[in-house]
Structure 1
Amino acid sequence: MLVILMDNQLISPQTVCETCLMADQSGKPRWQSGQLRCGHAIRKAAEQQPDQFECQMGFRVADIK
């Protein structure tokens, strides 16, 4: 499940991505094969952290399993 991290909040990507020009046709992040295609990976601080990415708009996206 993808979430957007903001301060101490988890936000659904649909609330942010639906107005983004980089989103897919359904207003969701461009997610394919475990990678955010509209952003880049961020190095983990600890192994137990979820995979994190920074989108082109500057939001931090996490893949919580």
Structure 2
Amino acid sequence: ISADRLNSDSGRQVNEDRIMTITRVDNESMPTASTCIKILFLPYYKTEKKLISMFNKALEYMDKSGFALE
């Protein structure tokens, strides 16, 4: 094995490890459907504007987590 190929393979493994680590962290940090719903119903909102704002945030979390919004 040439030194260039060895370095290339080593670099590829580092990149694959980095991708796996990032994927693992992202999956663990994603909110569940239950978390999204609790964002809406646990707090008391004094204004309709605040409720709408938090509802939109909950929908964004659900969308990022892969829940269908249709």
Tell whether the structures are fold-level matches, with TM greater than 0.5.
no
Larger gyration radius, structure 1 or structure 2: 2
The TM-score range, normalised by the shorter chain, is under 0.3
Higher share in helix:
2
TM-score, normalised to structure 1, is 0.24
Higher share in strand:
1
TM-score, normalised to structure 2, is 0.23
